[in-house]
Amino acid sequence: MPMSYDLSRDDCSRLLRAGVAGRVALGTPDGPHIIPVNYAVDAGERGDGPESVLVRTTAYSLLGTYGRDAQVCFEVDQFDHELKRGWSVVVRGRASFVDDHEALARIARSWQPRPWAEGQRHLLVRIPWTEVTGRQLGGGWDPWEFLPVRRLA
């Protein structure tokens, strides 16, 4: 059975910045939900932080209804069943809706999360990297080398 290791904050950051799809967990009156999302990482005006995960949604979605100022959890992972190895990175923080015009314009210029599913998604949700943790299963390999998709810098 493979060993499990903590990933450093730098490794977590590198994996988060490389990804394009993850999941948000959100508490609602009838319990937690998991919502698969496309996402982008924002690191502020000069790209030097503070970092956050950006997700687009709609006002009438679960995230639009219960996400404002709510503590949420965001996760990315990759598992190779055959090789019995994998990794996961979890971000936790208080979500906010981006409504500052300058921030919206800057994000639109640099990169916007582009949802694959149809429909207008006008609401931009920011999840700050208040808490970032990661785990790797199995040693002797670098998760970065085996990413299925890697976002261009």
- Residues that bind a copy of itself in the complex, under the rule CB under 8 A: 1-4, 20-21, 23, 25-27, 30-34, 36, 70-75, 77, 79, 81-82, 84-86, 88, 90, 92, 115-119, 135, 137-138, 148-149
Which 3-state string (H, E, C) describes 85-153? EEEEEEEEEECEECCCHHHHHHHHHHCCCCCCCCCCCCEEEEEECCEEEEEEECCCCCHHHHCCCCCCC
In whole angstroms, the minimum distance from the beta carbon of 135 to a copy of itself comes to: 8
Tell me whether residue 25 or residue 43 sits nearer to a copy of itself (CB atom).
25
Tell me whether residue 72 or residue 123 sits nearer to a copy of itself (CB atom).
72
Tell me whether residue 47 or residue 119 sits nearer to a copy of itself (CB atom).
119
The CA distance from 104 to 150, in Å, is 24
